[in-house]
Amino acid sequence: MSLGVCIILIAVGAILTFASDWEVDGVNFDLVGLILMAVGIIGTAVYTSILRRRRVVVPPVAPTVTEDERRGLH
């Protein structure tokens, strides 16, 4: 699930919960909206934690120099 999908889930859930007055027998749109927002928030947290792990940069290892190389004796 990408970050865009997570944000869309949060937006759709907020619209269903706070901005709609629809009533259908057997469907509670407030609960559906809360579930969508929760899934979107969890997805965003998981996505950012995975993205943070991918961007860890390992510094390059400096080559070891021996005493012979410092003196010019190869």
Of residues 24 and 11, more confidently modeled: 11
Q: 0.75 cut: is pTM over it?
A: no
Q: Can you give the pLDDT at residue 55?
A: 64
DSSP for the chain reads: --HHHHHHHHHHHHHHHHS----BTTB-HHHHHHHHHHHHHHHHHHHHHHHHHHTPPPPPPPPP--HHHHHT--
Domain ranges of the chain: 3-54
State pLDDT tens for residues 19-58. 988 888 999 999 999 999 999 999 999 998 887 776 666 7
